[in-house]
Amino acid sequence: MKRFVASTAAALGAAALIAAAPAGAETGEEQPMVVKNAWARATPASARAGAAFMTLKNTGDKADKVVAADADVSRVVELHTHKKVDGVMKMRQIPDIPVPAGKAVRLQPGGLHIMFIDLKAPLKKGETFPLTLDFARAGEVTVTVHVKAAGAMGGGMDHDGDSGAR
Ligand SMILES: [Cu+2]
């Protein structure tokens, strides 16, 4: 029985791989998911958590979503949003961040963000670090996150010129 279960799981895994494969290979064109202006707030020395923000632009004609994120700066990386509960904004983990076809989704303070839990070291202003986003269709996209001042709101950065490729 155990063997049967294991082989079924393997078969399901293989099926999932096959199902996922056409996403990137379909057109042979450029990556339809563009990630812009990735930044994080500097954290105080005592902080155990940090957050990153960015704009996700889906230039393709199919809906996509972020299903996971990974970075070396913390032991845990989660997808979060803010929800008002009894008049108080609270953070909440969410399973994915949908990015509709042809639309841009902005991760920003007070809204959607990538959460770094159990930071290995404080995020210092001026530093950069790689962050990998895992999209259901587009696959993995790695971006450079720029650490800005603790009070930064990210305003005025949402233009096409700044791809972070400096
Ligand atoms: Cu959070």
Q: Is residue 15 part of a domain?
A: no
Let me know: does 97 contact 65? Beta carbons within 8 Å. Answer: yes
Tell how far the Cα of 63 is from the centroid of ligand 1, in angstroms: 24
62: its two tokens: 């199919």
Tell how far the Cα of 36 is from the centroid of ligand 1, in angstroms: 20
Indicate the range of 70-74, 103-107, 143-147, 155-159 predicted with least confidence: 155-159
Q: What is the pLDDT of residue 30?
A: 64
The boundaries of the domain holding residue 123 are: 27-148
Residue 158 CB-half CA count within 13 A: 14
Determine which helix (DSSP H) or strand (DSSP E) holds 11, and give its type and residue range.
helix 2-20
Tell how far the Cα of 32 is from the centroid of ligand 1, in angstroms: 27
Tell how far the Cα of 66 is from the centroid of ligand 1, in angstroms: 15
Tell how far the Cα of 73 is from the centroid of ligand 1, in angstroms: 15
Separation of alpha carbons 152 and 145, rounded Å: 14
Q: What is the pLDDT of residue 162?
A: 39
Tell how far the Cα of 61 is from the centroid of ligand 1, in angstroms: 30
Tell how far the Cα of 80 is from the centroid of ligand 1, in angstroms: 5
* This prediction's pTM: 0.74
Q: Is residue 2 part of a domain?
A: no
Please give the tally of structural domains in the chain: 1
CATH number for the domain harbouring residue 85? 2.60.40.1890
Q: Is residue 9 part of a domain?
A: no
Q: Is residue 3 part of a domain?
A: no
Determine which helix (DSSP H) or strand (DSSP E) holds 18, and give its type and residue range.
helix 2-20
pLDDT digits (tens, 9 = 90+) for 100-131: 999 999 999 999 999 999 999 999 999 999 99
Tell how far the Cα of 162 is from the centroid of ligand 1, in angstroms: 25
